[in-house]
Amino acid sequence: MRPFETLDTFTTPDGQRLSLHHRDGDYFIDLDGHELMSTRVHDSETALGELACAGLGHIERPRVLIGGLGLGFTLRAALDALPDGAEVVVGEVFPIVVAWHETHLQSLGVPLDDQRVRVHDGDVSDLLGFDGRDRYHAVALDTDNGPDATCLSSNASLYDDLGIERIKQSLEPGGVLAVWSAHPDPKFSRRLRRHGFSVKTETVRGHRRKGPRHTIFLATK
């Protein structure tokens, strides 16, 4: 097995080291030396996009918000499930990740130039609010390890009571919030229900029915 090749590194505003690596045809994104995601284990990221958009095929112009571009598997799955008239907004807090897709990750074929896609260089929370200007039929969040937000403390505000209420106000009636999590989190399910969501969870293996078990929360307004 060949050693890891470091393709690029980036220091985040809070001093963490985000890095992109390659080995034997696979790509890995690390944060401070800990693997965040890879092309070897991505089935649950694909499932996040599929489950978030599963019920939107009958809507002529659905709007979907994705929090976190990552390696692009959630975006690709969402686009595969959506009609031509859809709009998909991707909030990516680290512009370097978008740049990697335009350089080192072109072989993954992530369709950032799809006419349905708009990339927001900034926190996904910028696109959520109480004013009702931006409404979505689905919001899919893969911004951290899930509701426990172990990588970036700023992500925790998406999953607390105020963050959930902001998401709720940003969803169309019947809209779906889909959240990727590395672990089950019954407290988060209860929090969602307190805010009036109907909640179910799906357990998805990381790679072809093998690998780690990840949890996807599906909360319907």
Q: What is the pLDDT, as a whole number, of residue 153?
A: 57
Q: What is the pLDDT, as a whole number, of residue 151?
A: 52
Q: What is the pLDDT, as a whole number, of residue 129?
A: 83
- Residues of the chain above pLDDT 70, percent: 93
Judged by average pLDDT, the poorest of 19-33, 52-66, 86-100, 198-212 is: 198-212
> What pTM does this model have?
0.93
- Cβ proximity of 21 and 6 under 8 Å: yes
Q: pLDDT tens digit string along 175-189?
A: 999 999 988 999 999
> Comparing 166 with 14, which gets the higher pLDDT?
166
Could you confirm whether domain 41-220 is CATH 3.60.21.10?
no
Q: What is the pLDDT, as a whole number, of residue 10?
A: 95
- The Cα–Cα gap between 112 and 104 comes to 14
CA dihedral 76→77→78→81, nearest 10 degrees, is 120
Q: What is the pLDDT, as a whole number, of residue 2?
A: 78
pLDDT of residue 75 exceeding 70: yes
Domain boundaries, the chain: 41-220
pLDDT of residue 109 exceeding 60: yes
Q: What is the pLDDT, as a whole number, of residue 155?
A: 67
> Comparing 197 with 31, which gets the higher pLDDT?
197
Confidence label for 133 from pLDDT (cuts 50, 70 and 90): confident
Q: pLDDT tens digit string along 17-31?
A: 999 999 999 999 999
| The pair of three-digit structure tokens given for residue 157, joined into one six-digit string | 């505000």
Q: What is the pLDDT, as a whole number, of residue 154?
A: 59
| The pair of three-digit structure tokens given for residue 12, joined into one six-digit string | 């985040």
209: left (phi over 0), alpha (psi -120 to 50) or beta: left
Helical packing angle, 186-194 and 161-170, nearest 10° = 60
Q: What is the mean pLDDT of residues 89-103?
A: 95
Mean per-residue pLDDT over the chain, rounded: 91
Chain centroid offset of residue 117 CA: 14
Is 11 exposed, middle or buried, given 0-12, 13-18 or 19+ CB atoms closer than 10 A?
exposed
Q: Over the chain, what HEC string results? A: CCCCEEEEEEECCCCCEEEEEEECCEEEEEECCEEEEECCCCHHHHHHHHHHHCCCCCCCCCEEEEECCCCCHHHHHHHHHCCCCCEEEEEECCHHHHHHHHCCCHHHCCCCCCCCEEEEECCHHHHCCCCCCCCEEEEEECCCCCCCCCCCHHHHHHCCHHHHHHHHHHEEEEEEEEEEECCCCHHHHHHHHHCCCEEEEEEEEEECCEEEEEEEEEEEC
- The Cα–Cα gap between 90 and 29 comes to 18
Q: What is the pLDDT, as a whole number, of residue 212?
A: 84
